[in-house]
Chains A and B, each alone.
Chain A
Amino acid sequence: MTHLTRLEKRRDGRLWALLAERAVPVKLRRCFPWTFPERYISLQTEQNEELAFISDPKELDAFSQAALAQALSEAGFVFLILRVYSVEEDFELRCFKVETPQGPRAFQTALDAWPRETPDGGLLIEDVAGDVFRIENPDELDAESRELVWELVD
């Protein structure tokens, strides 16, 4: 594994890993996006080969940490569900209308595509297109939203 000296976001919009002898644009993959998102990050080349591995971002300097956090917010972006407006079945689809920090969003899942529980008690719902929606804590939803997702939550 190549030794990583620094991470920086450059003018081309990409995250670059500065290694001992060269700089390489990298992509990020959280190894445990739901069980341990804060640590264990794989830095990969455009060809999806691992170039460096960060077991704990705190080991990086402050500048690199900031660049990493910014890149992670994009690579790990999922829609957070703040409120559920409706859940209806329509021609073999389960149609959700929800409020997210990004704004209201409608999405659909197959009827047998159940939400996935995460170790922290959250729920992940993947829609038919592949977008991921997350309910951080179903118990903290408002009563109406809880009632709407009742059959999908333990």
Chain B
Amino acid sequence: MDSERRFNDSDIIERYTDQPSRLPESLRRAIVDQQTTDASHGIVAYALADLDERLALARSWLALSTSEVVIAKERANGSHELTRFARDGLAKVELSSGLSCHVLRLYGESPAVGSAAPLCELRFTHRQRRCMEGIAFLLEQVAGGKPLETRDADAAYLQGVAQPIREAQALVSTRRLAVVWRLLSYLKPYKTRVIWGMSAATLVTLLALVPPFLTGHLVDEVIRPVQDGRLRAADVVHVAWLAVLGIAVVHAVSKLCVWLRLRLLAVLGELVARDLRDELFAHLQQLSMSFYSRKKTGSLITRVSSDTDRLWEFLAFGVVEVTLSLVSLLGLATVLIYLDWRLGLVMALPVPLMCLAIHLHGSGMNRLFTRAFRKWSRLTDVLSDTIPGMRVVKAFNQETRENSRFNQRNADVVSEFNRIHASWTGFWPALMLALEATVVCVWVLALPRLLGTSHAFGPALTLGKFVSFLLYTTMFVYPVEIMGQVARIMHRATSSAHRVFEVLDTQPEVVDDPTPVRLESLRGDVEFERVTFAYDGVRQVVKGLSFKVEPGELIGLVGPSGGGKTTLINLLTRFYDVTGGRILIDGVDLRKLESGSYREQVGIVLQEPYLFHGSVLENIRYGAPDASFDEVIAAARVANAHDFISRLPHGYDTVVGERGHTLSGGERQRVSIARAVLKNPRILILDEATSSVDTETERKIQEAMDRLVAGRTVFAIAHRLSTLRKADRLLVIEDGNLVEHGTHAELLANPNGIYTKLHRLQQELHEAA
């Protein structure tokens, strides 16, 4: 990536938005200088409010320093009107959202009855929302009496504004050519193949120039003199046959070279695509979960499949065709001008114009295709709506309506594609007509010279030379067509390359320590020490959580949805790193542990068990590929899965289909428990493992889990509190805090406790049911 300069967040803001990429320096100085002390009064965060009270575009900066909140309203002359108030004087922060206008109000006193005017009222669009929400969060922390975390204000602002743009596009590069060079660097390991392939291809192109030349020579030096009686046929017949043999040899060698070129370069494209796919997939395995939460699965699959396929096409054919077309056009122009410069120029000069016409037509076609793709997308929307929802369509008797919707959109698509057909079917004959018009021009200029009636356009022209000329003119069409499409070919390839390189250039956020600690056998001692975490780096979802778990303890995690339970699990499995505090495993900071050996000793059973396309056996063995058949069956028995598996016609060799869709939810869950059992983890995580199954299945799963948890440190999340009665301790997590802990009985002893309320609610629901 060294040859390629990528846009950073600052470049993105400057390129795509009409706002500054950082707080103006003069304003920064004004904010900091006017404060009472300087060293400890840096700017902690800032954001731009881009609407005023009349909802017109405006610029007001909101800056938060370690002691003050400053609002800088830009005047018409570019200067700023500063309003500032002490951060300690803040009582309430209110953020309200509209369609494209949000309002942040800061109050010095709680506006309980609406009589207190806000200290400030700022309006802004979605573009500024992330930054403003970040500041609102910090101010809420301040208003709540919590200490302010130090952060890089510029980086937070840049990321907040640029992130949506960055996420919407692939890697951003200033130079398309640099991407092509990087792509071509993948050819290096296959240098010999490239040289042979390109040499063969160049030879094909150059050899194609020979037959017309020999034909002209044959006509002028043999046929015409014999027909005119200037030479005897017997004297020159061997020359004639030699020329024919020459043409035959040229064609034969040419076809051999074509074969060589196709064979070498087509395989070359495959090899490079394979290398890219391998590198891409291997890199995907290294990336952190945060990357997967940002990117859509479909988009990543496309990058590994379609994009690498498109790059294969570019490397195998695009590069070659473009290079050869250039060689071919230059060769043709040279030969034609060499044969007869006047006629040569007539043929060669319109070529750039034709390439331009093709390019312009291509741009027009792009617009037509955009329309067609839009219509196509509307058509596929109907399919993706109705096919998965067919039960609903039928239940509501809406087949006719859906048919009509589909037919209408289908007709729209056809109409757009007809427009495309009308465009290219009109353009290409016109282009061919233009090309043939140049041939006619050649005839018009050549005929008087051939007949000797006029020499206004040059000296006499021999028939052979003219025949050669005409044969060369037919060779113009293909390279002209290719050159006209260079931009499109490059655009397609670089778009795909951007998407592939973006993944390859993404660095994993969770990385092993350079000298990691390898714990061969975990005891299962887990301690959270003042752990904080924020997915976006700003809004904490785990807020200074501390607890200790002894080896072999069964810990139940309970609390309202969105409280942070699953985040704790994500931290414990090290899918994410903590942003503050630390997690100790057997006394070692989790970040210091070798993640591979650690995860080998951690098992997880999820609410939605994920099975891979493959047999039941392969799925159970997923974490322990070398497990024996006896061990697999034993694990399945522990998981209460053996009975249903052995009833399947293909037993453990039954292919479960994509995501295990051929099994019921409860069956999938039991296979996933067997998978966890076989792995024999020291730390086991059960994330809502029984929440989506019926009572009987739940009983079986519960039995399996009771066997599974024995002798391990277990963290179990469950909404049905009854499933956690056997827990040694329950941790009640609410709003990122540990609000209660104790045994089931201890927690119920507190009549006003959150756990008691949850328990009571569930009992009432159960009784009502």
Binding site for B on A (CB under 8 A): 10-14, 16, 23, 25, 27, 33, 46, 73-79, 91-93, 95, 100-106, 108-110, 112, 114, 127-132, 150-152, 154
Contact = CB atoms under 8 A, between A and B. Distances in A.
Given A12-B117, A130-B164, A131-B125, 14 more contacts: A10-B115, A11-B114, A11-B117, A12-B105, A25-B111, A74-B98, A75-B96, A102-B55, A103-B56, A108-B16, A114-B374, A129-B126, A131-B100, A132-B100
Interface residues of B, number: 49
A23 B115 CA distance: 12
Contact of B165 (A13, A73, A78, A108): A108
Contact of B115 (A12, A74, A78, A127): A12
A106 to B, nearest CB: 5
Interface stretch (B167-175, B598-606, B676-684, B733-741): B167-175
Contact of B170 (A91, A95, A109): A91
Contact of A12 (B57, B116, B173): B116
Interface string B440-481: 000000000000000000000000000000000000000000
B101 A74 contact: yes
Contacts of A103: 56-57
A10 B103 CA distance: 15
Contacts of B127: 127, 129, 131
Given A74-B103, A91-B170, A131-B127, A102 B51 contact: yes
B121 interface: yes
B45 to A, nearest CB: 19
A129 B126 CA distance: 6
B9 to A, nearest CB: 14
Interface string B115-131: 11110010101110100
Contacts of B530: none
Contacts of A23: 113-114
Contacts of A78: 99-100
Contact of A77 (B99, B113, B117, B168): B99
Contact of A105 (B18, B121, B129, B373): B18
Interface stretch (B24-32, B60-68, B363-371): B363-371
| Nearest 3 CB-CB pairings of A with B | A10-B114, A130-B126, A12-B111
B657 to A, nearest CB: 29
B399 to A, nearest CB: 24
A91 B7 CA distance: 11
Nearest to A30: B99
B597 interface: no
B498 interface: yes
Nearest to B101: A77
B107 interface: yes
Given A74-B55, A103-B57, A151-B374, A92 B169 contact: yes
B495 interface: yes
Contacts of B129: 129-130
Contact of A152 (B18, B103, B167, B374): B374
Interface in B160-184: 164-165, 167-170, 172-173
Contact of B16 (A100, A102, A104, A106): A106
Contacts of A128: 164-165, 167-168
Nearest to B109: A12
A106 B17 contact: yes
Contacts of A46: 94
Nearest to B18: A106
B170 A114 contact: no
Contacts of B368: 151
Contact of A93 (B105, B125, B168): B168
Contact of B103 (A13, A93, A101, A102): A13
Contact of B99 (A10, A76, A102): A76
Contacts of B378: 114
Nearest to B367: A151
B377 interface: yes
15 contacts: A13-B117, A13-B118, A14-B96, A25-B111, A46-B94, A74-B55, A75-B96, A76-B98, A78-B99, A91-B169, A100-B57, A101-B56, A112-B373, A127-B126, A130-B129
Contacts of A106: 16-18
Nearest to B128: A129
Most buried by A among B123, B125, B127, B498: B125
A150 B168 contact: no
Contact of A95 (B16, B121, B125, B371): B16
Given A74-B98, A75-B101, A93 B126 contact: no
Contact of B118 (A12, A100, A112, A151): A12
Contact of B100 (A13, A77, A151): A77
B126 A102 contact: no
B111 A108 contact: no
Contacts of A95: 16
Contacts of A77: 51, 55, 98-101
A95 to B, nearest CB: 7
A3 to B, nearest CB: 20
A92 B498 contact: yes
A104 B169 contact: no
Nearest to B110: A12
A74 B16 CA distance: 26
Nearest to A33: B99
Contacts of B116: 11-12
A92 B51 contact: no
B123 A74 contact: yes
Most buried by B among A27, A92, A100: A92
A11 B112 CA distance: 11
A70 to B, nearest CB: 11
Most buried by B among A77, A105, A109, A132: A77
Given A91-B170, A103-B56, A112-B377, A12 B114 contact: yes
A23 B111 CA distance: 12
B57 to A, nearest CB: 4
A75 B16 contact: no
B255 to A, nearest CB: 41
Most buried by A among B96, B167, B367: B96
A147 to B, nearest CB: 10
A98 to B, nearest CB: 11
B367 A14 contact: no
A153 to B, nearest CB: 9
A19 to B, nearest CB: 14
A108 B99 contact: no
A127 B121 CA distance: 25
A100 B56 CA distance: 9
B87 to A, nearest CB: 20
A123 B13 CA distance: 26
A132 B115 contact: no
Given A92-B170, A102-B51, A27 B99 contact: no
Contacts of A101: 56
Contacts of B115: 10-12
Nearest to A12: B111
Contacts of A25: 111, 114
